Amino acid sequence: MSALTGTGTLVRLVVRRDRLILPLWGLLAAVYPSAIARSTADLYPTAEALRGVAGTAMANPSQQAMRGPVFEASVGGLTAHTVGMSGAILLGLVSMLLVIRHSRVEEESGRRELVGAGVVGRHAPLTAVLAVVFTANLMIAVLMAGTLIGAGLPASGSFALALSLAATGWTFAAVGAVAAQLTESAAVARGIGLGVFIVCFLIRAVGDSSGSAWLSWVSPLGWTLRARAFAGERWWILALLVALAVVLAGAAYRLSARRDLAAGVLPARLGPATATPALDSAPALAWRLHRGQLAAWTAGFAAGGLALGGAVSGGIEAQLNAPQIMEMIARVGGENAEPADFFVNYLLSMLAWIIAAYGILSALRLRTEETAGRADLVLVTPTSRVRWALSHLFMAVVAPATALAALGAGTGLAYSASSGDPGKFPVVLGAALAYLPAVWVMTGIAVLLAGLLPRLSVAAWGIWVVFILLDVFGMLGQVDASVLNLIPFVHVPWVVLGQTAVAPLLLLTAIAAVLGVAGLAGLRRRDIA
């Protein structure tokens, strides 16, 4: 039997299991750059305006750290500057997590062993998920290039941008494949993959912001930006990314052949033979399971807040001087609203979506523990089903609140320092925490699905993506207001601009509570797993 026997069947299985995630992820990634291109063309209609924005961006080290350099003062060049790094994050991270989900998670849950009992080659599961993820990235690239061309950008630059992002997705999919071979824990594999991505991002950020171009070339994320879409494309850089992806994928296959099923190349660290008194209850166990992610997300958002708050310095107001933006600022915050305040609250609103993803991830830990069989081990003790669920739900409520507080504190500290106004700190912190009820609504949706419709719990991610798409196109004026009202985040006041509406936050909190209670009621009445 060949090592690849059964790959086609497993490809269909991967596609079936992610039949919601793959299309929604692909749609978001494909249309996002064209939306940015159209917005850029509308906001900066003259060559002088484009040069002014590009010059301001290049003069701001914080912006170069977050987005990279501007290679061309044009609509295409600014689109590549805006989309390049965020697109690499979207395609790279999702690709990596999908590979780990269909490799290491399958082994950890025992499903890989069931599949292996059939006519399936040793490398078929890894080959299947890499084939799906690689194909998905390529399809996204084709759609992305088509939408960019439809937005009026040159075809060569459109394909260069799309293919460089797809190649980045391939590279980090291969990173995920390697990480999945190193450890027997899916959580540790994700941690290794995310750690590699963060290191690559930081190396590129330091290189771009300090003017050390050689340092940016050390990171594959630096290669992505230096494909120079719309600025004299360097097609040979795509070959570098592809070659790195092939080398990493080859290493993953070699490592896979050298280990046992469900084991990792690195030896597992064994815990003590008996548990400490701190693990004698369901809440204590939930804390033990969630604490690593909580620490990582909190530290990440605190650091990100410091970086983003610092990005406001360096003349960001010049980039917000377009009449359309000034009109939007006046509409939201009044005639006396400061452009920098608008920018800070806008950043908080975007990052709140990511923290909502953290809330969904924490809530769906219920379903993960259930399908892995670990919930049964807890429920055979005197612990009730509701108490077990509440222990995880408590963490799903507290964890995003902690992340939002860290984001607000970091952003407020940096913004107050750069503006010389210490009074900005509590305002920015309050603005970040104002998004907590909306985040809780997204968490409540995940709890509702996990409790009432457990097989469709993954649809929580689909709802999250749909809401983001509606929010993005709503800001561009392409979605009716009645539809936008379905999105919890549009009801959050922009506190930095002086909005103080409390009633919408109370209503969102009540909705989140109702969703959570309904999910717990459903969990109490249905069978486990």
CB neighbour list of residue 488: distance below 8 Å, 6 or more residues apart: 437, 438, 441, 442, 467, 508, 511
Per-residue pLDDT reduced to its tens digit, 12-60? 988 988 888 888 889 888 988 998 898 888 888 888 888 888 887 777 6
Contact indicator for 179, 192 with CB cutoff of 8 Å: yes
What's the angle, vertex CA 90, arms to CA 94 and CA 102, rounded to 5? 5
Could you give the CA distance from residue 163 to residue 65 in angstroms, rounded to a whole number?
Answer: 22
Residue 488 gets which letter from DSSP? Answer: G
Task: Give the SS3 label for residue 39.
Answer: helix
Could you give the CA distance from residue 438 to residue 417 in angstroms, rounded to a whole number?
Answer: 29
Could you give the CA distance from residue 420 to residue 401 in angstroms, rounded to a whole number?
Answer: 27
Beta strands in 398-457 (DSSP E): none
In 3D space, the residue among 51, 39, 233, 33 whose CA is nearest the CA of residue 59 turns out to be 51
At 318 the pLDDT is 56
CA neighbours closer than 13 Å in the CB half-sphere of residue 527: 2
Per-residue pLDDT reduced to its tens digit, 114-144? 777 777 777 888 999 999 999 999 999 999 9
Could you give the CA distance from residue 113 to residue 372 in angstroms, rounded to a whole number?
Answer: 13
Judged against a pLDDT cut of 60, whether residue 315 lies above it is answered with no
Per-residue pLDDT reduced to its tens digit, 425-448? 999 999 999 999 999 999 999 999
In 3D space, the residue among 367, 175, 397, 200 whose CA is nearest the CA of residue 283 turns out to be 397
CA neighbours closer than 13 Å in the CB half-sphere of residue 435: 32
Per-residue pLDDT reduced to its tens digit, 382-441? 888 888 889 999 999 999 999 999 999 999 998 888 778 888 899 999 999 999 999 999
Tokens of 432: 């970040």
Binning pLDDT at 50, 70 and 90, where does residue 492 land?
A: very high
Rounded to the nearest integer, the mean pLDDT of the chain is: 85
Could you give the CA distance from residue 378 to residue 362 in angstroms, rounded to a whole number?
Answer: 18
| 326 vs 52, more confident | 52
At 519 the pLDDT is 92
At 322 the pLDDT is 59
Residue 44 corresponds to which amino acid? Y
Binning pLDDT at 50, 70 and 90, where does residue 250 land?
A: very high
Phi and psi at residue 364, to the nearest 5°: -75, -5
Q: Is 6 exposed, middle or buried (0-12, 13-18, 19+ CB in 10 A)?
A: buried
At 265 the pLDDT is 82
Contact indicator for 519, 448 with CB cutoff of 8 Å: yes
At 329 the pLDDT is 67
Binning pLDDT at 50, 70 and 90, where does residue 108 land?
A: confident
- 230 Ramachandran zone, left/alpha/beta (phi>0; psi -120 to 50): left
Binning pLDDT at 50, 70 and 90, where does residue 476 land?
A: low
In 3D space, the residue among 411, 307, 422, 423 whose CA is nearest the CA of residue 349 turns out to be 411
CB neighbour list of residue 76: distance below 8 Å, 6 or more residues apart: 37, 153, 154, 157, 158, 229, 230, 231
Q: pTM for the complete prediction?
A: 0.78
At 291 the pLDDT is 86
CB neighbour list of residue 159: distance below 8 Å, 6 or more residues apart: 141, 145
Residue 401 corresponds to which amino acid? A
Judged against a pLDDT cut of 80, whether residue 478 lies above it is answered with no
What's the angle, vertex CA 386, arms to CA 381 and CA 391, rounded to 5? 85
Pick from 203-207, 295-299, 517-521 the range whose average pLDDT is largest.
517-521
Contact indicator for 57, 70 with CB cutoff of 8 Å: yes
Could you give the CA distance from residue 505 to residue 508 in angstroms, rounded to a whole number?
Answer: 5
What residue has token string 């919408």?
Answer: 504
Contact indicator for 56, 318 with CB cutoff of 8 Å: yes
Binning pLDDT at 50, 70 and 90, where does residue 481 land?
A: confident
Sign of CA dihedral 476, 42, 49, 72: positive
What residue has token string 């697109």?
Answer: 87
In 3D space, the residue among 93, 105, 106 whose CA is nearest the CA of residue 133 turns out to be 93
* Cβ neighbours of 174 (radius 10 Å): 25
Could you give the CA distance from residue 150 to residue 145 in angstroms, rounded to a whole number?
Answer: 8
As a whole number of Å, the end-to-end CA separation of the chain is 34
Phi and psi at residue 505, to the nearest 5°: -70, -40
- Which residue pairs, CB below 8 angstroms and at least 24 apart, start in 193-200? 193/96, 193/97, 193/100, 194/93, 194/96, 194/296, 196/172, 197/92, 197/93, 197/96, 197/172, 198/300
Judged against a pLDDT cut of 90, whether residue 188 lies above it is answered with no
In 3D space, the residue among 54, 85, 86 whose CA is nearest the CA of residue 72 turns out to be 54
Per-residue pLDDT reduced to its tens digit, 148-171? 999 999 999 999 999 999 999 999
Could you give the CA distance from residue 104 to residue 372 in angstroms, rounded to a whole number?
Answer: 13
What residue has token string 């399809």?
Answer: 139
At 44 the pLDDT is 84
What residue has token string 């190649």?
Answer: 167
